[in-house]
Amino acid sequence: MHSVWKTSILFTLVTAVLLGLVYPLLLTGVAHVLFPRQAAGSLILRNGQVIGSELIAQSFTADKYFHPRPSAAGNGYDATNSGGSNLAQSNAKLAQRIQGDIDRLAKENPGRPVPIDLVTTSGSGLDPDITPDDAYFQAPRVAKARALTEDAVRALIAQHTEGRTLGLLGEARVNVLELNLALDDLSK
């Protein structure tokens, strides 16, 4: 029995150094050399300042920007408190929240069905993408606010739409932050 405890303690310490320090630290070094941008979080810089990450949704509320999906992360888009709403379909709060958003959007865009991803919170609350449907739905508002033609905005969406990986995996998507930055560049 005595030797079991001794071996257990020694094995824990020896392998902890290997698995808990050598492995992650070595990996950090190699990742930094091979993929420095991704290893640092795919940050986007403008004028030397970090304005966000390509992979993390940030809040956009102005009419001239495309809006990301609603967020249940913290008080919204909190990248230190990720998560979904965890509301069940049988929860009246979920039905009321979604229906309220649909009704508001339907009033602003009469006669057009509202894309479902625009009124549902994502799993992470930080989903950087919207569906192409969602982007095209928002195009008239953005075009109007920027005094651009709707066609110009739609062309930009098409340009920033990423299809399924290898035509197979996942779903088509548009990165909101990248699209908005492209819009700002266009308006300059």
Partner 1 sequence: MTANGWLQYAVYSLVLLVTVRPVGIYLERVLEGRRTWLHPVLRPVEGLIYKLCGVNAEAEMSWREYAFAMLGLSAVTMVFTYAIERLQFYLPWNPQHLANVGTDLAFNTAASFTTNTNWQFYTPESTMSYLTEMLGLATHNFWSAAVGIVVAVALVRGIKRTQSPTIGNFWVDMTRTTLYILIPACVLYALLLVWQGVPQNLHAYTSAHTVEGATQTIGQGPVAGQEAIKMLGTNGGGFFNANSAHPYENPTPFSNFLEILSIFIIPAGLTFMLGRMTGSPGHGWAVFAAMFALFTAGFATAYWAESHPYSAIHGATQTATATLPTGNYEGKEVRFGIADSSLFATITTDASCGAVNGMHDSFTPLGGMVPLANIMLGEVVFGGVGAGLYGMLIFVVLSVFIAGLMVGRTPEYLGKKIESFDVKMAMLYTLIFTFIVLVFTAVFVLLPNVGLGTLTNSGPHGFSEVLYAFTSGAGNNGSAFAGLGPNWWWNIAMGFDMLIGRFLMMIPVLALAGNLAMKKSVPPSPGTFPVNTALFTVLLVGVVLIVGALTFFPALSLGPILEHLLLKSGQLF
40 and 29 in contact (C-beta within 8 Å)? no
| Contacts (CB under 8 A) with partner 1, residues 35-54 | 35, 38-43, 49-54
x/- string (CB under 8 A) for partner 1, residues 134-153? --------------------
Measured from the CB of residue 35, what is the shortest distance to partner 1 in angstroms? 5
- Interhelix angle for 132-146 vs 176-187, to 10°? 30
Number of residues that bind partner 1 (CB under 8 A): 104
| Contacts (CB under 8 A) with partner 1, residues 103-122 | 103, 106, 113-117, 119-122
Is 88 a binding residue for partner 1 by CB under 8 A? The answer is yes
Looking at 139-147, 150-158, 161-169, which segment touches partner 1 (CB under 8 A)? 161-169
| Contacts (CB under 8 A) with partner 1, residues 61-80 | 61-62, 65, 69, 73, 77-80
Nearest residue to 57 via CA among 113, 147, 117: 117
In terms of DSSP bridges, do strands 49-53 and 173-175 run parallel, antiparallel, or are they unpaired?
A: unpaired
- Give every CB contact of residue 175 below 8 A, 6+ residues apart in sequence: 54, 128, 129, 160, 162
Is 23 a binding residue for partner 1 by CB under 8 A? The answer is yes
Tell me the C-alpha to C-alpha distance, in Å, between residue 72 and each of 93, 121, 179.
13, 6, 22
